[in-house]
């Protein structure tokens, strides 16, 4: 862009020539800005010599006119090409083109709050949903609500039965790993046979329910959150509401019940697989006869070990199911929100599982 300024009687005339577009350097606004600083009474921009222009020119000219207006100096466009005139006429008077003022800088404490408040919000949502689920699952049948047996069966098979191969594979390996670790320590005391005790107790009381719950959170918690989130986005949840159905009763209760049943069952099954793996490893590598190993296992385990594992499993399952559903139903906005809700569901579930485990351990052993 080339320009030429002529002054007469306190008013200035800027003649613009050549190209005013994104490939050419030079804009009208700085030229006029310096004229405004000089204190001219009027600016006229002659566009008769404009050969090429694009949206850059539109923005430039609109901002120039606005700059004049804020100084109280009239800025007029002359001999503008027809297309430019048409394009400018499409922009409503007073449209703001520059962005608003940047936001105030935030303190580190405020930023920490911004990170923490969604997690707290997620826990709060999960808690209220859990109350609703209990109300519906336990008191619902007394109010004559129809139990959703078919959905429950479908969910149990999705969450529990389909996870069996994965659980088998993981706990076969885990049983061997535990036995190896235990043997390495116990051999120093000549008490290799106690491998059976260690494997059995650590699996049933702790690792079985904990790891199963984490597996289920990753496998089914994520998919439940995504499923419900997608239903929200595609207005299916609204459709249910419109039919007079309660989404929590229809969708969430069967899921949470299925999680609460599937996790302890899977955990019990996982314990058995782990013990089998430990037995096999001890027979082959540690030369502990199978009969001796199983007898040792039988003596090591108390009924309370199994029940505490089952109680924990049921509780972990309920937590995972509830958090996943709360995150799924909490989706607002578009499909990309489903992805982040899924991530939040898994992360929050695992966090909640660990918290609950700490609580249980304190209750069972600390008191």
Site residues, another protein (CB under 8 A): 21-22, 52-56, 58-59, 62-63, 81-83, 86-87, 89-92, 95-99, 333-336
Sign, CA torsion 53/59/65/68: negative
Beta bridge partners of 75: 43
Contact 149, 247 (CB under 8 A): no
Q: Angle at CA 187, nearest 5°, toward 185 and 193?
A: 105
Residue 145 burial (C-beta neighbours within 10 Å; 0-12, 13-18, 19+): middle
Q: What φ, ψ does residue 100 adopt, rounded to 5°? A: -70, 175
Q: Please say which residue, 8 or 83, places its beta carbon nearer to another protein.
A: 83
Q: Please say which residue, 96 or 365, places its beta carbon nearer to another protein.
A: 96
Q: What φ, ψ does residue 12 adopt, rounded to 5°? A: -120, 150
The least CB distance from residue 72 to another protein, in Å, is 23
The least CB distance from residue 337 to another protein, in Å, is 8
Q: Please say which residue, 77 or 319, places its beta carbon nearer to another protein.
A: 77
* Angstrom distances, CA of residue 335 to CA of 118, 224, 228, 328: 19, 15, 12, 12
* Angstrom distances, CA of residue 215 to CA of 20, 167, 192, 208, 350: 61, 8, 31, 11, 9
The least CB distance from residue 32 to another protein, in Å, is 16
Q: Please say which residue, 87 or 306, places its beta carbon nearer to another protein.
A: 87
Q: How many CA atoms lie within 13 A of 32 on its CB side?
A: 30
The least CB distance from residue 37 to another protein, in Å, is 20
The least CB distance from residue 302 to another protein, in Å, is 53
Which is it for strands 2-8 and 11-20: parallel, antiparallel or unpaired? antiparallel
Cβ neighbours for 261, distance < 8 A, ≥ 6 positions apart:
156, 160, 314, 317
Q: Please say which residue, 96 or 104, places its beta carbon nearer to another protein.
A: 96
Q: How many CA atoms lie within 13 A of 63 on its CB side?
A: 15
Cβ neighbours for 117, distance < 8 A, ≥ 6 positions apart:
none
* CA nearest neighbour of 171 among 211, 142, 134, 137: 211
Contact 163, 262 (CB under 8 A): yes
Q: Please say which residue, 58 or 283, places its beta carbon nearer to another protein.
A: 58
The least CB distance from residue 54 to another protein, in Å, is 4
H helix or E strand, kind and range, residue 313? helix 303-329
Q: Please say which residue, 118 or 339, places its beta carbon nearer to another protein.
A: 339
The least CB distance from residue 95 to another protein, in Å, is 4
The least CB distance from residue 22 to another protein, in Å, is 5
Which is it for strands 75-78 and 2-8: parallel, antiparallel or unpaired? unpaired
The least CB distance from residue 18 to another protein, in Å, is 13
């Amino acid at each position: 862009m080339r320009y030429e300024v002529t002054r007469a009687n306190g008013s200035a005339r800027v003649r613009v020539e050549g190209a005013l577009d994104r490939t050419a350097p030079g804009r009208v606004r700085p030229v006029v800005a310096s004229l405004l600083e000089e204190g001219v009474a009027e600016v006229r921009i002659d566009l008769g010599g404009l050969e090429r222009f694009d949206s850059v020119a539109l923005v430039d000219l609109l901002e120039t006119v606005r700059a004049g207006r804020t100084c109280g100096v009239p800025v007029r466009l002359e001999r503008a090409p027809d297309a430019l005139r048409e394009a400018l006429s499409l922009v409503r008077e007073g449209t703001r083109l520059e962005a608003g003022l940047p936001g105030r800088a935030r303190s580190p404490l405020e930023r920490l709050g911004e990170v923490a408040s969604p997690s707290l919000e997620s826990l709060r949502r999960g808690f209220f949903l859990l109350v609703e689920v209990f109300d519906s699952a336990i008191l619902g049948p007394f109010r004559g609500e129809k139990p959703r047996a078919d959905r429950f069966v479908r969910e149990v098979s999705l969450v529990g039965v389909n996870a069996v191969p994965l659980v088998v594979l993981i706990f076969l390996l885990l049983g061997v790993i535990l036995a190896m670790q235990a043997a390495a320590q116990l051999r120093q005391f000549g008490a290799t046979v106690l491998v059976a005790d260690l494997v059995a107790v650590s699996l049933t009381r702790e690792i079985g329910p904990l790891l199963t719950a984490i597996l289920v959170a990753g496998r089914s918690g994520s998919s439940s959150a995504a499923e419900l989130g997608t239903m929200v986005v595609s207005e299916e949840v609204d459709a249910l509401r419109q039919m007079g159905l309660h989404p929590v009763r229809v969708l969430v209760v069967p899921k949470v019940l299925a999680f609460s049943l599937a996790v302890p069952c899977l955990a019990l099954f996982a314990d058995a697989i782990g013990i089998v793996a430990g037995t096999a490893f001890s027979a082959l590598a540690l030369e502990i006869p199978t009969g001796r190993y199983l007898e040792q296992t039988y003596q090591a385990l108390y009924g309370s070990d199994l029940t505490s594992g089952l109680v924990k499993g049921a509780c972990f399952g309920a937590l995972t199911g509830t958090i996943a559903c709360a995150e799924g139903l909490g989706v607002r906005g578009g499909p990309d929100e489903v992805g982040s809700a899924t991530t939040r569901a898994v992360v929050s579930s695992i966090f909640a599982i660990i918290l609950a485990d700490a609580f249980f351990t304190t209750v069972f052993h600390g008191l």
